[in-house]
Amino acid sequence: MTTTGLQAIKFDKENITLEILDQLLLPYSTTYIPIESINDAFEAIKSMKVRGAPAIAIVGVFSVVVDTHRYLNSKEESLRDKSIQDLISSIDYLITSRPTAVNLSNALNDIKSILTKSYKAQTLVNKSVLNDIYDYSVALYEDDLSNNFKLGDNGLNYITETLKSQNFKGPFSIMTICNTGSLATSGHGTALGIIRTVHEKLSKSCGQDFWLDHVYPLETRPYNQGAKLTTFELDYEKIPFTLICDNMASSLISSLAKEKVVKNLSAPVKFIIVGADRIVENGDTANKIGTFQLSVIANAFNHAFQDESKKIKFIVAAPRTTIDLKTKTGDDIIIEERPPNELTTLKGPILSNNSIGDKVTVGISTPNISVWNPSFDVTPHNLIDSIVTEELPVHTKNPKGEFDLSSN
Ligand code: MRU
């Protein structure tokens, strides 16, 4: 399966090389940079050149492949004598680059178990080790891509069934946060993958009583993945959208629900679709900071709406690899805290006279102040309506309000 959308990760299977789209330069420049080692991957993940839970995992495993290939082909004596134990230590270091996203640790732990099951700790890294890591990594990449398309179809069916059961008619809108598209995965995307599929299959001409009219991506402070990356993808795909700041969500939902016209648009927000960095056993979900407040907003509106057809569904979309059944509740999820300068400064190119100039950093707060910058928050399962993966059925809660994510 191939993707026609933007490609965040380019892995050359013949020459065993890896390049990633430097997401720090988007949307002004599409520049690919080489990843030649585990250290390169650590730096790229930590500095957000690549981000998004599935994409991080794929870059992580491919970096182990290119690192091992480079080591085996190196003529330098200093690079000789790497044992399985040495490789495992480098993998453990790589796991620490983004602690909240479970996909990275799951995938790298899988590689570690392949290594420990097949080789002794002191065995020197050899061609057969490379083949084993290569096979696992290519399969992970290809599975992620095909799973995203299945996830998109499952989301489309869930949305169609929901609207039919609510007897909803007419145009509707979808709200989303962060970036969960081709740039955050092997291609197509998760939450944005559903939006892509719905845009393609549930258009005004599709013959249904309802259709997707508009998408509202949130800016996603403080790192602005929504403003920089999701708008870039929606624009690229020609999906109609309007960017809003995170603190405009309630106001927009309310105006549209009251049938007010907002910038010539009036289709109500019927779905809030978000990605996930870790979904634990009870369904509590870690995702980009700001996700939790969207679920609270949806819940508050749903309590006020008398009419079933007005209700908003809060959907989490993620591949099964994001489900972490070893962690019982959201209280046990480690939330990554990022540096204060992500709040106190903004980086971007100087724009003047329609030209894109040098990238600069500008201050936007009082210098040297106390800052709290958690990168993720946890949405409790009681505020989530459904969890859509590549498998069926879509997870919804039982009458006691519980998800059963153990298997499909
Ligand atoms: O900090 P980021 O940009 O890696 O955060 C990404 C998100 O929160 C995404 O919504 C999540 O990883 C799912 S990506 C398909």
**pLDDT at residue 266 greater than cutoff 70:** yes
Ligand 1 within 6 A of 225 CB? yes
Same fold yes or no, 9-143 and 152-334+373-396:
no
- Closest C-alpha to ligand 1, atom 10: 275
The CATH number, out of the four listed (2.40.50.100, 3.30.70.890, 1.20.120.420, 3.20.20.70), of the domain defined by the range 9-143: 1.20.120.420
pLDDT tens per residue, range 333-362: 999 999 999 999 999 999 988 888 889 999
Ligand 1 within 6 A of 57 CB? no
CA 21 to chain centre: 15
Ligand 1 within 6 A of 288 CB? yes
Q: Which of 178, 190, 232, 390 to mutate to test the pocket of ligand 1 (most atoms within 8 A of CB)?
A: 178
> What is the rounded CA–CA span in Å between residue 45 and residue 27?
18
Angle at 376 between CA 374 and CA 379, to 5 degrees: 130
CA 240 to chain centre: 21
Residue 164 CA, ligand 1 centroid: distance in Å:
31
Q: What's the whole-number mean pLDDT along residues 247-267?
A: 97
Ligand 1 within 6 A of 375 CB? yes
Q: What's the whole-number mean pLDDT along residues 241-269?
A: 97
pLDDT tens per residue, range 215-237: 999 999 999 999 999 999 999 99
pLDDT tens per residue, range 165-218: 999 999 999 999 999 999 999 999 999 999 999 999 999 988 899 999 999 999
- Mean pLDDT of all residues in the chain? 95
Report the nearest atom of ligand 1 relative to the CA of 318. 15
> What is the rounded CA–CA span in Å between residue 229 and residue 73?
37
Quick one: pLDDT band at residue 76, thresholds 50, 70, 90? low
Residue 91 CA, ligand 1 centroid: distance in Å:
21
Ligand 1 within 6 A of 52 CB? yes
**pLDDT at residue 373 greater than cutoff 90:** yes
Q: Which of 3, 47, 51 to mutate to test the pocket of ligand 1 (most atoms within 8 A of CB)?
A: 51
Ligand 1 within 6 A of 182 CB? no
Report the nearest atom of ligand 1 relative to the CA of 56. 4
- The domain segmentation of the chain, as residue ranges, is 9-143, 152-334+373-396, 339-372
Ligand 1 within 6 A of 185 CB? yes
Q: Which of 45, 221, 277, 378 to mutate to test the pocket of ligand 1 (most atoms within 8 A of CB)?
A: 277
**pTM assigned to the model:** 0.94
Q: What is the dihedral of CA 291, 293, 295, 299, to 10 degrees?
A: -170
Helix 249-257 × helix 291-304 angle, to 10°: 30
Q: CATH classification of 152-334+373-396 is 3.40.50.10470, yes or no?
A: yes
Catalytic residues: 277
Q: What is the CA radius of gyration of the chain?
A: 22
Residue with tokens 């190119």: 349
Do 389 and 195 form a contact (C-beta atoms < 8 A)? no
**pLDDT at residue 2 greater than cutoff 60:** no
**pLDDT at residue 66 greater than cutoff 80:** yes
Closest CA to 220 of 158, 177, 256: 177
Residue 52 CA, ligand 1 centroid: distance in Å:
4
Do 184 and 8 form a contact (C-beta atoms < 8 A)? yes
